Structure 1
Amino acid sequence: MSDAVLQRWRGFVTSVGEGEFSAVLIDATPDSDRTGSRDVATFATAEVVAEEEREFVVEGAGFTWTIPADGSSVVKFDPPGVWTAADLKLAGQLAEDWFFAVAEPTTDLPSTSWD
């Protein structure tokens, strides 16, 4: 079996409904010109999440969605309470994006750096 990855996303659950969940997806494909781009998607929980991981499908949960070279689809949820340094950096960037999207225009905006 090849370890080659055709596509990989880092996802964060934004809402959970009856038999489905929606998520923000950040392209994490190595060596891709779309790396870092954002999309949204809705998934049928029973089709993409292993039964033993379904309890992890809650708002705010992180997961990785991978399409390996064989074309299958693999969704792996993070155990609850696990935040990597990359997750914290991304959360800061997303919070800043949201803040500037809804903030009233002013010259007194805070200066932040997530690098």
Structure 2
Amino acid sequence: MKNDRVYKILFASVYPMYIQKAEKKGRTKEEVDTVILWLTGYSESQFKDQIEKKSDLQTFFDEAPKLNPNASKITGMICGYRIEEIEDPLMRKIRYMDKLVDELAKGKKMEKILRE
């Protein structure tokens, strides 16, 4: 994985793709927001600020208030990698977010996605 290149991707450029992926499967933007806010600990206004200031993925996660303590329960394969085996902490957080949106698009119930 070329991690440095991934870290420089703007969250504001990835976010619409997450929404599009979810909406294609009958889910909503609000549900995408819910899973991202759950993971990162951002408030809605903090989240909007990150989008408006065009934070890259590294900044987006570095400035996140607190990674959800249940994030470590997110396991499985994403993009050909087993999440729990990803050693780089930032890449693991990015893949957590990818996996949550993926589960949403696959129709999983919100309670299961949020590891409740």
Higher strand share: 1
The structure with higher relative contact order (CA 8 Å, sep 6+) is: 2
Higher helix share: 2
